[in-house]
Chains A and B, each alone.
Chain A
Amino acid sequence: DIQMTQSPSSLSASVGDRVTITCRAGQNINNFLNWYQQKPGKAPKLLIYAASSLQSGVPSRFSGSGSGTDFTLTISSLQPEDFATYYCQQSSTTPRTFGQGTEVEIK
């Protein structure tokens, strides 16, 4: 299995802040990396695929970058609806492992 490690596990931020979440893969996955957002009691929602491609309908304040083993999800200006847990997932091989999640809380 390819291990996916996210940091931090949680963070507190204010509306308008720039937020960065990091995901590290246990081996080279090129850019086969997805990001999901999950709100309490809801199913995850796809935000980004192929490390940096924005899923249709996702606000442009979300962006992704990285290749190889190190990846970043950035929210340029945090909005109230962005408080949620974010997961990275590698799609290089099966099993398509997820990171442990990063909870973004209100400061």
Chain B
Amino acid sequence: QITLKESGPTVVKPTQTLTLTCTFSGFSVSSSGVGVGWIRQPPGKALEWLALIFWNDDKRYGPSLKTRLTITKDTSKNQVVLTMTNMDPVDTATYYCAHSRAYCSGGGCDYYAMDVWGQGTTVTVAS
């Protein structure tokens, strides 16, 4: 059974750096086709895709936040860490991590989707 759980501060001050940890079980982030992604959701708003790290350490970022984000993985600890610099009140949101895997359909096996999500952690940016 795959589970993921986000952890980190609930409140950060403007200009500070946010560090969030996704601790997971039930899979290895070094297995082919596997990834762990981060998604956020401001209160009452839509989901925003932030970053994704693949089993081969390939890293992808949303372009609007790319200069502020770093995603890393620690295979031995079963953790993926997201850091976001220069926090602003508009970054107040629930942050989710999710397991990403490749599905096969119609002869292709490159249909990626986030099939298991953590419960989310709420981060408020305020002075």
Give how many B residues have a beta carbon under 8 Å from the other chain's beta carbons.
25
B49-78 near A? 1/0 per residue, CB < 8 Å: 100100000001111000000000000000
B-side binding surface: helix, strand, loop or mixed? strand
User: Are A89 and B46 touching (Cβ within 8 A)?
Assistant: no
Interface positions of B from 34 to 49, Cβ below 8 Å from A = 37, 39, 46-49
Complex Cα gap A37–B106 (Å):
24
What is the CA–CA distance of A41 and B46 in the complex, to the nearest angstrom? 13
Q: Number of A interface residues, CB 8 Å?
A: 25
Judging by beta carbons under 8 Å apart, are A34 and B117 in contact? Answer: no
> What's the nearest-Cβ distance from chain B to residue A66, in Å?
14
A1 touching B113, Cβ below 8 Å: no
Taken residue by residue from 36 to 63, chain A's Cβ proximity to chain B (1 for < 8 Å, 0 otherwise) reads as 1010000111100110010100000000
Distance A32 CA – B102 CA, assembled complex (angstroms): 11
Nearest Cβ on chain B to A103's Cβ, whole angstroms: 11
User: Is the pair A49, B105 in contact by a Cβ cutoff of 8 Å?
Assistant: yes
Stretch at the interface among A10-18, A19-27, A74-82, A90-98: A90-98
Which residues of B lie under 8 Å from residue A94 when comparing CB positions?
52, 60-61
CB <8 Å contact, B103 and A50: yes
Interface residue? B118 (CB, 8 A): yes
- Is A87 in contact with chain B by the CB < 8 A criterion? yes
Which 7 A-B pairs have CB atoms at the shortest separation, nearest pair first? Answer: A50-B105, A43-B117, A94-B60, A49-B113, A50-B111, A95-B62, A98-B47
Q: Which residues of B contact A (CB under 8 A)?
A: 37, 39, 46-49, 52, 60-63, 96, 98, 103, 105-106, 111-115, 117-120
